[in-house]
Amino acid sequence: MLETSKDHWTARFVEVIARASTQLPPDVVEALRRGRQREQEGSMAAKALDTVLRNIELAGGTWQPICQDTGTPLVWIHHPVGMSTRMLTSAFEEAVRQATARQLLRPNAVDPLRDKNTGNGAAPGIPTVHCEEWDEDAVEVRMMLKGGGCENVGAQYTLPNPALKADRNLEGVKRCILDAIYKAQGKGCAPGIIGACFGGDRGSGYAESKRQLLRRLDDRNPIPELDAMEQEIFEKANQLGIGPMGFGGVTTVLGVKIGYLGRLPASYFVSVSYMCWANRRAGARFATDGTVTWLE
């Protein structure tokens, strides 16, 4: 039987948040190392990535935040039939407050009505918690921290887009994504990771584009057309020459992950979420026998 007390889950969630904030997943580190190898020795791009890699090591070793913008915590929780989603949501919200008090997270929630930072990391809508029931007898938590710098360079397009010569087809979707990467320049802390969704409405499209960012960088899309599109955009984006931090270079994106949702006949949205190089994902599976498996 899985625990049902809020305090139990709050403590588990604080551990997941600590990991997300301070330990960069190995596939992301590997992608950054490969990028560094491809940059010209002595270039601004190479030095930028050297600093990034040193920072990751420092943060990981001391369990301090990789980046000071610990972002909005977004979490997807799968839970067994009958487990209270209100309890899980409330536990995660409390975990965010505790992690903020411990400087694992920066106080990052501003109430725009009162124009004041709430001081404890929580505000209407923050953190963003998605709960989904499943048949397994375990709780699986997957979360990410997504900062403001990269959030600000996300974009949503409507097709057709005449300026980009983009029609309502996969080719059009691809053009929008490349345009979004160009427009972001280095401002999202390139090299970035792109999560995109074609279809959906203005809300669901963005939400799905962010869920795509939970994928490992070295995974492949099981749908052949989308796999081909991901690979093509990855290649072409790295030809733009924006480079790490926008200093110029060959490492502009570390990965491209694309999903889709049904759409209205009248609407065709392409939602692009830009994640910075500090793709702070963490996940864990909590089984009934008490074992915890960390997910990468």
| Nearest CB to another protein, comparing residues 51 and 158 | 51
121 contacts another protein (rule: CB under 8 A): no
288 contacts another protein (rule: CB under 8 A): no
**CA torsion angle for 13, 15, 17, 19 (degrees, to 10)?**
-150
Q: How far is the CB of 2 from another protein (least distance, A)?
A: 33
54 contacts another protein (rule: CB under 8 A): yes
Q: How far is the CB of 198 from another protein (least distance, A)?
A: 17
143: alpha, beta or left, given left = phi > 0 and alpha = psi -120 to 50? beta
Long-range contacts of 233-238 (CB under 8 A, 24+ apart): 233/174, 233/177, 233/178, 233/181, 233/194, 233/258, 236/178, 237/178, 237/181, 237/194
Q: How far is the CB of 251 from another protein (least distance, A)?
A: 13
189 contacts another protein (rule: CB under 8 A): yes
| Nearest CB to another protein, comparing residues 50 and 219 | 50
Window of 68-76, 138-146, 199-207, 208-216 that interacts with another protein by CB under 8 A: 68-76
67 contacts another protein (rule: CB under 8 A): yes
25: alpha, beta or left, given left = phi > 0 and alpha = psi -120 to 50? beta
Applying CB under 8 A, among 198, 260, 268, 277 the residue interacting with another protein is: 277
| Bridge partners, 161 (sequence order) | 166
178 contacts another protein (rule: CB under 8 A): yes
231 contacts another protein (rule: CB under 8 A): no
64 contacts another protein (rule: CB under 8 A): yes
Q: How far apart are CA 242 and CA 183, in angstroms?
A: 10
* Closest among 25, 53, 44, 83 to 214, alpha carbons compared: 25
Q: How many residues bind another protein (CB under 8 A)?
A: 52
Window of 46-54, 199-207, 213-221, 284-292 that interacts with another protein by CB under 8 A: 46-54
149 contacts another protein (rule: CB under 8 A): yes
247 contacts another protein (rule: CB under 8 A): yes
| Bridge partners, 116 (sequence order) | 111
58 contacts another protein (rule: CB under 8 A): yes
